[in-house]
């Protein structure tokens, strides 16, 4: 999906994350979820996934357009999906 190598991926406990989440972003390491930093903008949970889909430019961008929905409305579906995947 990242054919242009635009994104850096890291676990929240990785050395790259420790560097990125220094200072004001330190609290994000405790989220235990998907976090996407876009410039100074922070996307968390479902909004992070949807924003990445939107930016992908592939056919998935249409699903990613849902990133405009506030997190408190869409995150329950994200959590449900996460619970189903763990089983």
Check whether 7 has a pLDDT greater than 80. no
Give the separation between CA 48 and CA 64, rounded to whole angstroms: 9
Give the separation between CA 15 and CA 86, rounded to whole angstroms: 25
pLDDT digits (tens, 9 = 90+) for 49-81: 888 888 888 888 888 888 888 888 888 888 888
Percent of the chain with pLDDT over 70: 94
Per-residue pLDDT at 2: 66
Mean pLDDT of 17-28: 76
Closest by Cα among 48, 65, 62 to 9 = 48
User: Using an 8 Å Cβ cutoff, are 35 and 48 in contact?
Assistant: yes
Give the separation between CA 68 and CA 61, rounded to whole angstroms: 12
pLDDT digits (tens, 9 = 90+) for 25-57: 777 777 677 888 888 888 888 888 888 888 888
How far is C-alpha 72 from the geometric centre of its chain's CA atoms? Answer: 15
């Amino acid at each position: 999906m990242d054919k242009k190598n635009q994104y850096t991926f890291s676990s929240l406990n990785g050395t790259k994350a420790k560097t990125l989440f220094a200072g004001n972003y330190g609290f994000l390491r405790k989220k235990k979820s998907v976090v996407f930093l876009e410039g100074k903008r922070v996307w968390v949970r479902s909004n992070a996934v949807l924003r990445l889909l939107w930016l992908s430019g592939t056919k998935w961008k249409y699903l990613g357009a849902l990133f405009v929905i506030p997190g408190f409305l869409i995150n329950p579906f994200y959590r449900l999906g996460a619970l189903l995947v763990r089983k």
